[in-house]
Chain A
């Protein structure tokens, strides 16, 4: 009979927790790699022009972006394939820029309002007509600090 009696081996062996930190790390990495920081959903696609004499935009919280580019394919039926302006999350027209600037100012603290920079992110094949209209509107809204967003181009030697 004693042959069949189990001695002390009755309870299940404990699961080893030695690999738990690895799992946690793996999750951490997964989220680190897959997360992108982006505040607006882009409805237009643009390729920025290249330039060599660039300055960096230091204070990101004092920058308001205006995107100009070709609407994404799903919007092309309604908005066409010409370059369009995007403010915040929607398509806009030149007339909306003044109110956009006003609302951007409203969102900042009072003492920082005149330090706002407008960053124009424009597709390289856009025609200047639309840019000129935007610039006129910005002047009317007295948002005079302007940044033409561009990428670092290769040095020609």
Chain B
């Protein structure tokens, strides 16, 4: 009897996990110190991927109505600009350890949502952007070292991060699509 009890005890000990909190980690931008400096940084239109989410959870990406499932590809294409097309972001030459002189995108993702957007949609957009960033990094890491990004050491990760920058700026929300 005691043996069975021990067996059960050990089984529960092994199988129990403390519930770990998981989530999407973000850093908020600090509030600018002097309020007078509210000139907006001028960025060329082609360098911005403007994502708008309205109160009906619909996506407008650079003036084009998109489904959430297309966002990932769109973002990747935006950052990579494989054909050097005119309306996708410019690139500039940067020297990055391990990679040498490479063309780095100057693209910036701008995300704006309505106060009536649902939290679920917001998380899905954030998630898609995060997946896009991870896949881009994985691609670069794969072609250079034959490993995925998360298996690289810190210095290599740093280099890859510089190669495919993923800057997301979140604008103050406004009431897009009608008053409440």
The residues of A with any CB-CB pair to B shorter than 8 Å are 19, 21-22, 25-26, 28-29, 32-33, 37, 49-57, 60, 63, 117, 119-120, 122-129, 131-132, 135, 138-140, 142, 144-152
- In the complex, A139 Cα to B124 Cα: how many Å? 23
The answer to whether residues A144 and B21 also contact, given A129-B173, A131-B119 and a CB cut-off of 8 A, is: no
**Is B28 interfacial (CB-CB < 8 Å)?**
yes
Residues of A within 8 A of B117 (CB): 127-128
The answer to whether residues A51 and B25 also contact, given A25-B2, A131-B122, A144-B30 and a CB cut-off of 8 A, is: no
Q: Taking CB as reference atom, which chain B residue is nearest A37?
A: B18
Query: B116 is contacted by which of A21, A60, A128 (Cβ under 8 Å)?
Result: A128
Do residues B21 and A57 form an inter-chain contact, with CB atoms below 8 A?
A: yes
Query: A57 is contacted by which of B12, B22, B124, B172 (Cβ under 8 Å)?
Result: B22
Can you identify 17 A-B contacts, CB atoms within 8 angstroms?
A: A25-B9, A54-B24, A119-B23, A120-B23, A124-B119, A125-B118, A125-B119, A126-B118, A127-B115, A128-B115, A128-B122, A131-B119, A131-B122, A139-B31, A145-B27, A147-B26, A151-B22
Query: A148 is contacted by which of B5, B18, B26, B115 (Cβ under 8 Å)?
Result: B26
Do residues A128 and B23 form an inter-chain contact, with CB atoms below 8 A?
A: no
**Is B101 interfacial (CB-CB < 8 Å)?**
no
Residues of B within 8 A of A60 (CB): 21
Residues of A within 8 A of B116 (CB): 127-129
The residues of B with any CB-CB pair to A shorter than 8 Å are 1-2, 5, 8-9, 12, 18, 20-31, 113-120, 122-124, 126-127, 130-131, 134, 172-173
Q: A25-B2, A53-B130, A128-B173 are in contact. List 15 more A-B contacts (CB 8 A).
A: A25-B5, A29-B12, A56-B20, A57-B23, A63-B21, A124-B119, A125-B118, A127-B118, A128-B115, A128-B116, A129-B115, A131-B119, A142-B31, A146-B27, A147-B24
The answer to whether residues A148 and B118 also contact, given A37-B18, A55-B25, A60-B21 and a CB cut-off of 8 A, is: no
Do residues B124 and A49 form an inter-chain contact, with CB atoms below 8 A?
A: yes
Query: A144 is contacted by which of B22, B28, B119, B131 (Cβ under 8 Å)?
Result: B28
